[in-house]
Amino acid sequence: MDLRSGYPLSLIRNGIPFDYPKLEQDLRADVAVIGAGISGALTAYYLQQAGLDTVVIDGRTAGLGSTCASTSLLLYEIDKPLHQLREQAGRHVADRVYELSRDSVEGLGKLAGRIGFRNFHWADSLYIASAGKRRFLEAEYSARRSLGLNVAWLDESGLMELYGVKGEAAIVSAGAARTDAYEFAHAVHQHNLSQGVRIFDRTAMGGFDIGRTDTRIVTTAGHLIRAKHLVFANGYEALESLGKGLATVHSTYVTASEQLTPEKLGKMQDFVLWDTAEPYHYIRSTSDNRILIGGRDEPFYSPARRDRLLNRKAALLERDFQKMIPGVPFTREFNWTGSFVSSADGLPYIGMHPGLKRCYFALGFGGNGINFAYLAAKLVAGLIAGKSGKDLALFSFNRR
C-alpha cells in the first residue's frame, strides 16, 4: 500500500542515510522480523539483547513507509483520554496502560542515550481544551491526578502568559519528548548491525508457512528464510495476515514551516501540543527550528483521494496554527500526508495471534505509534525469550 505522499520533512533532511542489501540467498535465524521501520528496529534491538539471532526484512527501502512520515511527538497520553479509557476498559486496565506508556517514553530516552542518538529532546506536553471542552479537560485532569501523574492545570490567561497559546484551559504534563522517528530508526539499525543483526531491505515477504518446528518465509524473489519465530512489525500491512475488522485506517495531514530564528520560535522549543478537537491537532518544533502542525484527519478511502486533499488541508492547518499560537510566524514550506491505523480502544495489538503459532505482532496503532512500538518490542522479545509478560493481556487480540 502507498502509505504516504508529499514531502515529509525528515526524508528531505536525512535522505537515505544508510544502505542495506537485498536478500540474495537462503538463510536461517532464531527470529525473522517483518518491517524495517521504527517498530522493526526496536523489536530487533530487544531480540538481540535477549541473545536471539535476528534477521529483519522489508519490502521497501528501510524506513520509507509510515516511519519517515511520522511527526515524532512522544506523549504518554494515548488517543483515548484516561477518564474515557477507565469507563471503557476499567480503571485497572486504563491506569496500567497509562503507566506503561509513560515508562515507554522514558525508556526511549534512555535507549537514545545508550546508542548515542542525539535528536531526542524532552519537553512539556500541553493538552489544550478546544472551544466548549473545558469540562471534558477537567475530568481528564482529575483522572490523571488520581493516578499520580505529574500534571498541572492552566487557565486561559496562564496558558497565554506562560506558553503563548490560545485555549480555554490546558493540562501541562511532564515527560513528553520530540524526536525524528526516521533518523532514530536508522540509528537503532546501525547499532543492531554492530551487534550481529542482519538487515535486508527491498526484500518483500511473498508468503509464509508455519511448520511443526519452524516457520518458512519465502520472499517474492524466491529466497527462503527458516526461523523459529516470526514477528510482524509492519503496521498496516500486517492486517493482510489478520483479516479485516481489527482496526480502521485514516489519513492525516502535516505541514512544516520555513525555518525560524530561535528568537521567533520562542517558547515553542519547550513544549509539544495537542488539543481536544475532533480530530485533534498536534504541534511541535524541530531540531532545525521549524514548526510541524498536523491533523485534519479523514477516513481513508484511497491514496488518490487522500492526496488530492493535501494542499487544501495544509492551508487549513496553517490557519489553525495562526489561531492557536498567534505570536509565532508560520509560513508553510513542506506538506505531506500519510495513512495510519487505529484500534477501537486506542490500544496497540501486541503478542501472539491465537490462530498463528509462533507468530507475534508488534503493532503500535494510533497516535502513539513510537512509544507503543517500544513497548511492543520489549514485550514480544521477552515473550520469545521465555519470560512471563503479565501486561501482554492488556494488548492481546482477545481483549474485550
Adjacent-strand bridge partners of 172:
126, 152
Cβ atoms 189, 55 nearer than 8 A: no
Q: CA angle, corner 77, sides to 75 and 83, nearest 5? A: 170
CATH number given to 4-69+182-246+346-395: 3.50.50.60
List C-alpha distances in Å: 374 to 128, 181, 234, 286, 313.
Answer: 26, 12, 14, 22, 31
Domain ranges of the chain: 4-69+182-246+346-395, 248-265+281-342
CA–CA separation, 155 vs 169, rounded Å?
A: 4
pLDDT at 5: 74
DSSP code, position 238:
G
Backbone angles phi and psi of 224, in degrees to 5: -110, 130
CA–CA separation, 86 vs 247, rounded Å?
A: 20
pLDDT at 394: 93
pLDDT at 239: 67
Sign for the pseudo-dihedral over CA of 327, 274, 187, 342: negative
pLDDT at 365: 73
pLDDT at 176: 96
Residues of the chain scoring pLDDT < 70: 1-4, 236, 239-245, 301, 366, 400
List C-alpha distances in Å: 305 to 5, 195, 253, 333.
Answer: 12, 43, 13, 22
pLDDT at 383: 94
Cell digits of residue 303: 491514496
Cell digits of residue 129: 481544551
- 3-state class of 151 per DSSP? strand
pLDDT at 387: 86
List C-alpha distances in Å: 79 to 63, 188, 274, 282, 372.
Answer: 24, 26, 10, 12, 12
